[in-house]
Structure 1
Amino acid sequence: MDDSAIYRIAQRFAGLSAEQRQAVYQRVLAEGMTAGQFPVTPRAPAASRDGGQPLSYAQSRQWFLWELEGGGSAYHITGALRLQGKLDMAAVRESFGAIVARHEALRTVFRANAEGLAEQWVMESGAFQFSEIDLTGSADAEAEAGRVARELGETPFELGTGPLLRVGLLRLAAGEHVLVVVMHHIVSDGWSVQLIVDE
Structure 2
Amino acid sequence: SAPLSYAQERLWFLSRMGTVPGTYNIPLAVRLTGPLDAPALTAALADVVARHASLRTVFAEADGLPSQLVLSPEEAAEAGARMEVVRLPGEDALTGALAAQAAHPFDLSVEVPLRARLFALGADTHVLALTVHHIAADGWSLEPLARDVAAAYRARLAGGAPDWKPLPVQYADYARWQRELLGAKGDPDSLIATELAHWREALAGLPEELELPADFPRPARAGGRGGSVARAVPAGTHARLAELAQRSGASLFMTVQAGLAALLTRLGAGSDIPLGSPVAGRTDDAVRDLVGCFVNTLVLRTDTAGDPTFTELLARVRETDLTAYAHAELPFEHLVDELKPARSLARQPLVQVVLAFQNAADPLPGLEGVTASVEPVPSTTAKFDLSFEVTERAAADGGPGGLEILLEYSEDLFTEATADRVAQALATLLISSHVMDEAERCHRLLLMREGEILADGTPEALRTRTGSETVEAAFLHLVDEAVAAARAKETTR
* TM, length-normalised to structure 1: 0.69
1:2-38 deviations in whole A, cap 9, x for unaligned? xxxxxxxxxxxxxxxxxxxxxxxxxxxxxxxxxxxxx
Show the counterpart of 2:70: 122
CA distance in 2, matches of 1:133, 1:124: 26
Structure 1 residue aligned with 2:43: 94
Residues 26 and 132, structure 2, Cα contact 8 Å, conserved in 1: yes
* Corresponding residue of 1:154: 103
Whether 1:172 and 2:121 are equivalent positions in the alignment is yes
Work out whether 1:74 is the aligned partner of 2:27: no
1: CA distance, partners of 2:18 / 2:120: 33
Any idea what the Cα deviations from partners look like across 1:138-165, whole Å, max 9, x if unmatched? 2xx2220111111111120110011211
Question: Closer, same or farther in 2 for the Cα pair 1:150/1:177, shift >3 Å?
Answer: same
Distance 1:150 1:173, change over 3 A: same
Structure 1 residue 194 displacement after superposition: 1.6
- Residue 68 of structure 1 aligns to a residue whose secondary structure is coil
Q: Is the 8 A contact 1:100 1:107 kept in 2?
A: yes
Tell me the equivalent position of 2:84: 131
In structure 2, give the amino acid aligned to 1:120. Q
Q: What is the CA-CA distance between 1:106 and the residue it aligns to?
A: 0.6
SS in 2 for 1:162: coil
| Partners of 1:67 and 1:171 in 2: CA distance | 34
Q: Does 1:62 align with 2:11?
A: yes
Alignment partners' CA distance in 2, 1:83 and 1:70: 33
Which protein, 1 or 2, shows the higher relative CO under an 8 Å CA cutoff with sep ≥ 6? 1
| Aligned partners of 2:46 and 2:82 also within 8 Å | no
Residue 209 of structure 2 is matched in structure 1 by: none
How much does 1:69 deviate? 1.7
State the 4+ residue runs in structure 1 displaced beyond 6 angstroms.
Answer: none
Distance in 2 between residues matched to 1:81 and 1:190, nearest whole Å: 15
Over the matched positions of the two proteins, sequence identity in percent amounts to 37
Tell me, in whole angstroms, the C-alpha distance in 1 between the residues paired with 2:5 and 2:122: 43
State how far apart, in whole Å, the 2-side matches of 1:194 and 1:69 are. Answer: 30
Unaligned runs of 5+ residues in structure 2 are: 149-493
Structure 1 residue matching 2:68: 3-state secondary structure:
strand
Of structures 1 and 2, the larger Rg is shown by 2
C-alpha distance in 1 between matches for 2:8 and 2:147: 24
Distance 1:164 1:155 in 2: 10
CA–CA distance in structure 2, aligned partners of residues 168 and 184 of structure 1: 15
8 Å contact kept, 1:110–1:121: yes
Structure 1 residues 197 and 58 mapped into 2: Cα distance closer, same or farther (>3 Å)? same
Query: In structure 1, how many angstroms separate the alpha carbons of the residues matched to 2:126 and 2:19?
Result: 33
1:68 & 1:116 partners in 2: Cα distance?
14
Q: How many residues align?
A: 143
Q: Which residue of 2 aligns with 1:85?
A: 34
Tell me if the contact between 1:71 and 1:158 (Cα under 8 Å) persists in the aligned partners. no
Q: 1:176 corresponds to which letter in structure 2?
A: T
1:71/1:59 CA distance change after superposition, 3 Å = farther
Letter of the aligned partner of 2:124 in structure 1?
Answer: G
One-letter amino acid of the counterpart of residue 130, structure 1: M
- Letter matched to residue 98 of structure 2: A
Equivalent residue for 2:282?
none
TM superposition shift of 1:72: 2.5
